[in-house]
Structure 1
Amino acid sequence: MSALGTRPHPDLPRLTYLEVATAPVALEHLDAGGVDLAILDGEATPTGGLGLAKQLRDELGRCPPVLVLIGRADDRWLADWSRADASVPHPIDPLRLRDAVNGLLAPA
């Protein structure tokens, strides 16, 4: 959140954040709608963001764009498997994260 701030690009509206700690709570909020982008921790336990991303794609009728934070660049294939729209490896590069978020939130 500190890497992105509230305005990562002047053409986008201000960002607000909803931080959750468990997959069931994330699913509840995403299923209810109103979330424009999900940023998931691919290294979280017990439910990792990669598995959660795949579950979101399989189960939600309207899934927002999903960005996963992966442990290393070589894990990109896992992000592809999870059907995430984008991934950013650790250590997080704030500029790379900003660019990925801007790309996912840019108006079509």
Structure 2
Amino acid sequence: MRILVFSHKAEVREAIVNAIGRRPAADLERVDYVEVSGIADVLSEMDAGEVDLAILDGEAQPTGGIGLCRQLKSEITDCPPIVVSVRRKDDRWLATWSRADAVLVHPLDPLTAAETVADVLRARRVPAVNG
């Protein structure tokens, strides 16, 4: 599985990756991260269709992950799930407006972050059909 992590700050990307870890849950496979700092890189990666989940920094500059999430959800057919990270609990409503699949609040709690990402990845799975 491939997770895109977007922030203009390397330390925010690192905090997200460290909080979630390489295996968010025992029933999920290892994840690989692709870290990007610019909007063009996000759009390129998402358009390539190889991202299973995107985590966008809602505080990124000059374009934040909240508006970017809304754009991606509107423009990409069968858009992969997107998690938005915010600095304040009160900003959760903005992430909901952006059509995010889940929200992470800084400072990140590793257990909550990994569980949130695992839940979103599980919901994305396509069930096998016999016959």
Which TM class, normalised by the smaller chain length? over 0.9
What is the identity, as a one-letter code, of the residue corresponding to 2:91?
D
Aligned equivalents of 2:24 and 2:52: distance in 1? 14
How many residue pairs are counted as aligned between the two chains?
A: 108
Q: Which structure has the larger Rg? A: 2
Aligned equivalents of 2:25 and 2:108: distance in 1? 18
Equivalent residue in structure 1 for 2:32, among 16, 19, 22:
16
Deviation for aligned residue 1:62: 2.3
Helix, strand or coil: the match of 1:3? helix
What is the identity, as a one-letter code, of the residue corresponding to 1:9?
A
Matches within 5 A, 1:1-108: 1-106=17-122, 107=125
What is the identity, as a one-letter code, of the residue corresponding to 1:50?
I
Aligned equivalents of 2:78 and 2:40: distance in 1? 17
Deviations 1:24-51 (A, max 9, x none): 1101110110100000000000010001
Deviates more, 1:2-11 or 1:32-41: 2-11
Structure in which a larger fraction of residues adopt strand: 2
- TM-score of the pair, normalised by structure 2: 0.79
Aligned equivalents of 2:59 and 2:102: distance in 1? 15
Question: Which aligned segments of 4 or more residues in structure 1 are displaced greater than 4 angstroms?
Answer: none
Aligned equivalents of 2:29 and 2:109: distance in 1? 22
Cα-Cα RMSD: 1.0
Aligned equivalents of 1:9 and 1:53: distance in 2? 25
% identical aligned pairs? 53
Gaps of 5+ in 2: 1-16, 127-131
- TM-score of the pair, normalised by structure 1: 0.95
